[in-house]
Amino acid sequence: MFHSDQGVQYAAASYSKALSRFGIEPSMSRRGNCWDNAPMERLFRSFKSEWMPRGGYDSITAARRDAGAYLMGYYDSVRPHQYLEGKTPAEAEKSLNQLSKIA
């Protein structure tokens, strides 16, 4: 998946065809909604600065494996988030579930 704003370069038919050729699904923010991109931009910034090797990946397999490890392992279960008052997303979700009595 490739997420972008609605810039003319991303909306162009030639760009869409290029993504399709590589099996990449386009995703765009809603018009005039800058907050749509903010969470994704923050996530990718964290991934690039905290986890991704400086020189990138040697293969798509390694990139997929590493991205999965970051998202489902480190980012969700280990990395504290300032927005969540220092909790991990998993801890915050567990707290909400306890409050709402969801198992």
Task: Identify residue 88 by its one-letter amino acid code.
Answer: T
Please give the pLDDT value at position 71. Answer: 87
Look at residue 17 in the predicted model and tell me its pLDDT.
93
pLDDT tens digit sequence for 16-70? 899 999 999 888 777 766 666 677 788 888 889 988 999 999 999 999 999 999 8
What pLDDT is recorded for position 34? 63
Full 3-state SS string of the chain: CEEECCCHHHHCHHHHHHHHHCCCCEEECCCCCHHHCHHHHHHHHHHHHHCCCCCCCCCHHHHHHHHHHHHHHHHHHCCCEHHHCCECHHHHHHHHHHHHCCC
